[in-house]
Amino acid sequence: MGKSPFSRCSRCGGNMVQEIFFGPTEQFTGLKCVICGEVIDPVILQNRELMRAGHVLLLPKERGAAAEYIHA
């Protein structure tokens, strides 16, 4: 596991390490804080940017349905 240019956690200031995560159908890499457990991956970063831009995430009512964004 390598060191990242984003080596400090934005939540607690702890060290971030690259880690492999396993989802229901895929595996992906991200960063995890060794102190507080904060996880950052490309999807999380994209969702945070959308929220900063004023978009609201509408969660699906049924499992497996796609989430959608609206501009608030």
Residue 1 has pLDDT above 50, yes or no: no
pLDDT, residue 35, reads: 95
Contacts of 59 (CB under 8 A, 6+ apart): 67
Tell me which residue of 53, 50, 52 sits closest to 67, measured CA to CA: 50
Residue 34 CB coordination number (10 Å): 13
Per residue in 25-70, pLDDT tens?
889 899 999 999 999 998 888 888 888 888 776 666 655 556 565 5
Q: Residue 70: beta bridge partners?
A: 56
pLDDT, residue 23, reads: 82
Task: Tell me the pTM.
Answer: 0.63
Cα dihedral 18, 20, 21, 22, rounded to 10, equals 170
